[in-house]
A and B are shown apart, each in its own frame.
Chain A
Amino acid sequence: MIERAPISADPSAKLNINVNGREAVLDVPPSKRLLHVLREDLGLTGTKRSCEMGRCGACMVLVDGKAVNSCLAMAYQCEGKSVTTIEGLSEGGLTPVQQCFLEEGGYQCGYCTPGMVVSVTAMLANDPSPSDADIEEALSGNLCRCTGYGGIWRAVKKAIELKKEQTG
């Protein structure tokens, strides 16, 4: 969860935020959702908008390494934080998680995919060999309407296997 930053009374206050490793100082209202800051102010449209109420996970990003629904985080809550979006994850080429989604067909329309990849990445960073129940818990906030999750299960299992091979 995001810790509360002190609310600034100064409406002209700027948002200091690190996005994908780069410092940014943005002139946005404190109550603006992180989702909109990313999509509209920074042009990072890999983060998707769907329910805007924390139910679908299409907007998932990492805030200080933890998966967060960016539609529920307001700008002021991100003051001084480091945000990683799907674009940030992909900067050094495809990650193993992305490679597994590609190979196993863990996507169709792809609209849920950035959020799904972010959630899987956060899950595996936290625990490299989650049980099925852990996977369900970690991904139950990411809706996919197209795949029926079959390809997503396969991709996640594959990613876990890869991790094991690499570390084992």
Chain B
Amino acid sequence: MLLNRDTSGRRWRIRPDGPGKVTGELEYLTDLSLPNMLIGRVLRSPHPHAYIRSVDVSKALALPGVHAALTAKDVPGLNRFGIARPDYPVFCEDRVRFIGDAVAAVAAESDELAELALAAIEVDYEPLPVVDDPERAILGDSPLLYEEGNVFHRNGYKFGDIEAGFAAAAHIVEETYSTPRQMHTYMETEGGLFVPGEDGRLTAYSPTQHGFMDRMQLSRILAKPEEDIRVVSSPIGGSFGGKDELNVQPYGALLALATGRPVKLHNSRWESVRAGLKRHPMKITMKTGVDAYGRLVAHRAYVIADKGPYSTLGAEVLNFATEHVVGPYRFKAVDVDTVSAFTNNGMSGEFRGFGGNQAIFALEGQLDRLAALLGMDPWELRRRNLRRAEDPGPLGQPISVTGGAGQVWASLEGSALWRRRSEPPASAPSAPWLKRGIGAAYVMHAAGLGVGIPDPAGGRLQLRGDGKIEAFFGYEEFGQGLIASLMQMLIEMFGFAERDIVITIGDTDVVPDSGSTTASRATSMMWQSLRRLRGPFAGKLLEAASRALALPAETLAIGEDGIRGAKDGRLLLSYAALAGAAGQPIAAQTHFSYPTSPVDRVGAHYMYSYSAVAVEVEVNTLTGRVHVVDQYHAVAAGPVVNPQGYLGQIEGGSSMALGFALTEDAVMSGGHYLTKNLDTYLVPTIVEQNGAVTVDAIEELPEGDEHGPRGLGELGSVGLAPAIAEAVYQATGKRASKLPIDPALLQEPIRFN
């Protein structure tokens, strides 16, 4: 189904959080303030790598209006955080390993005073040699970040006889691809308000992707029971993975407890750039062989990722890349070797696409190069090697069966945009230096956290005393439309009216732990939760109604505004009256885990979504600039829960892929950022995004499928980049293996003849 407002009909709804957003009334957590609050600021290292000889905060503390100046010795609990492996220092004790490292934090009566206080803190550093190249970092003679060495994580995967494969190949392509240090660039920088309560509790109003994970980590840092901490974490002005790990929360919490006053932090853009996560820059070397018919006979891949100084979810990202460099193709033999190296560069971590973006850019680049050598249509080459529905996953693991791979292939093949490729251009380019080309790419992308990682899910429904149906989920709204999707499912799966429903998320005091809002999992997990809750919750409502009305439950149905006659739909009992009659709360709760593959390979995934992306570009060979003219996305991710949200995820995701391909790179030199703000870090504007975007949503799933909607949140951010690279090649004959594509590569001297 071509997805747009018209084809969605009545399913295209106004988001419940929309009015507050378009009027500016919605308060983000960084908008909050309290009358007696202090401003918190963090002192970060000016050096990418150095020993700390001493830290002296006495002069800062002596300033009137400065209420706290904290360092490592003021952390009562674990002076570390990190979701997977807590190795990120809240405050560095004796060594800094990147320029985002925190050394001290202050709370003062104004931002100016806080800044003055930071300047008054005396830190004596002894600079160390900077490790800024991941490839050199893992050689024997590199300076070390850690005694154990600079190798952070390794993975790999092998099957088949790779040498025999290459020996049998008619063509072999060897290429090295590199990808940029992409920045999430959520428009709301990190921040929040931290409020100590009179009862000894602490409330952290601060964006995150998993409130309970923050609560657990804060509890560890503060040495305070989890129950004494409340994390309020939505709404969020964008995250994309970037607010998954703790950021300002430890400082806000420590300062609030130290001063006994509310403390607000709100990062400047530069502080956000400096301390925040980025997409792992990767260098991926591939050697891939194909026989004369176009069968992929051998595929070798070596991935090296720039980790930066601490773990974050870097191991999981590398594992994801290991899986996705193999992708959807039936190779005869594969040999993948991946490594992630500690450096003193910026901090890499989780980011929409999670290592798939880099892996798939390289993999699709290989397919396109091989097709050119074979003289074969690149889409046909993919068809000849594409997985069948029942095939195992990229790591040989059983995966949920769908026909998605073939469906998106066929959708793209039949699209007007792709067909245009073989037709003569409708009109000559408007100037001789403008060249057009069309390219396509294929994406198979996993969702969920994978084997061996706790991946809980669940939620609760309750009829409140006032007759509202309240849905409680521990997921976060960072713009993706989670509240709208939940609302839509409650309406469509239960028959409630929007006015019957109240949605409560993002507050650890009241919501159940539904797991993280990451890995394209939340919508799937809400759908599965509601499917499990439908029977029990509806049953309880009807049972209570049957008692109140003295009518058999079978004659009743739940519907808009209350209990209705099953046959005539007449309203018999409002939900408020039902709540009153029931006397006690009616509720149902569910708890389960994200489905996983039955293998013991950590991180292997079970649920996949598929997409195929075609793009037409126009290259200006005078400036070397690439303009995206038209995009077509075929997406197979199960039923469309929320059409506006679905479309938004593909449009928004692909805009990030456009930036990844053409303009975005947080450039570093010697461990320092050269791009410090949005004047040099270039995210797409409306000018770059003025082309058409067509989305074909393929909803069909095999009969009896239990899993429903698949992950969508990341899928859209992947395929456009390799498609652009191929379209540029078609336009200019030049292959870009490094992103963002350097305009200098595409510039041509003007010829007058």
Chain A contact residues, CB within 8 Å of chain B: 39-40, 43, 45-53, 55-56, 58, 85-87, 89-90, 94, 98, 101-114, 117, 132, 135-136, 139-154
Contacts and interface: CB of A to CB of B under 8 A. Distances in A.
Given A55-B678, A147-B648, A48 B237 contact: yes
- Give the size range of B's interface with the partner: 35 or more
A113 B22 contact: yes
Given A132-B690, A136-B686, A150-B648, A50 B653 contact: no
Interface string B23-46: 111111011010000000000000
A87 B24 contact: yes
9 contacts: A55-B677, A94-B19, A105-B12, A107-B18, A111-B28, A111-B187, A111-B238, A150-B651, A153-B686
Interface centre among B21, B24, B184, B240 (most CB of A within 10 A): B24
A133 B189 CA distance: 30
B715 interface: no
Nearest to B237: A111
The B interface, classified by DSSP as helix, strand, loop or mixed, is loop
B478 interface: yes
Nearest to A158: B5
A45 B687 contact: no
Which 3 residue pairs of A and B lie closest in terms of their CB atoms, listed nearest first? A46-B24, A109-B479, A110-B21
Contacts of B238: 108-109, 111, 145-146
Contacts of A117: 22, 24
B648 A105 contact: yes
Nearest to A150: B651
Interface string B676-701: 01110001111101100100000000
Contacts of A89: 23
B264 to A, nearest CB: 10
Contacts of A146: 187, 238, 479, 648, 652
B188 interface: yes
Nearest to A46: B24
A48 B188 contact: yes
Contacts of B12: 105
B266 A151 contact: no
Interface of B: 5, 12, 14-15, 17-28, 30-31, 33, 184-189, 235-238, 240, 266, 268-269, 478-481, 644, 647-648, 651-656, 658, 677-679, 683-687, 689-690, 693
A152 B21 contact: no
B717 to A, nearest CB: 10
Contact of A45 (B27, B479, B654): B27
Contact of B236 (A56, A101, A109, A150): A109
The A interface, classified by DSSP as helix, strand, loop or mixed, is loop
Given A132-B690, A140-B685, A46 B23 contact: yes
Contacts of A90: 23-25
Contacts of B655: 145, 147-149
A153 B647 contact: no
B235 A110 contact: yes
B654 to A, nearest CB: 6
A145 B690 contact: no
B432 to A, nearest CB: 22
Nearest to A112: B187
Contacts of A150: 647-648, 651-652, 689, 693
Given A50-B187, A146-B652, A136 B23 contact: no
B187 A147 contact: no
A59 B240 CA distance: 22
A165 B23 CA distance: 24
A151 B651 contact: yes
Contact of B647 (A46, A58, A105, A139): A105
Nearest to B658: A148
B686 A110 contact: no
Nearest to A132: B690
A110 B17 contact: yes
Contacts of A151: 644, 647-648, 651
A51 B684 CA distance: 15
A113 B678 contact: no
Nearest to A139: B686
Contacts of A98: 22-23
A148 B651 contact: yes
B652 A147 contact: yes
A140 B687 contact: yes
Given A108-B238, A108-B481, A144-B187, 16 more contacts: A45-B28, A46-B25, A50-B187, A51-B679, A102-B22, A109-B186, A110-B26, A111-B187, A111-B479, A145-B184, A145-B652, A146-B479, A147-B648, A147-B652, A148-B648, A149-B690
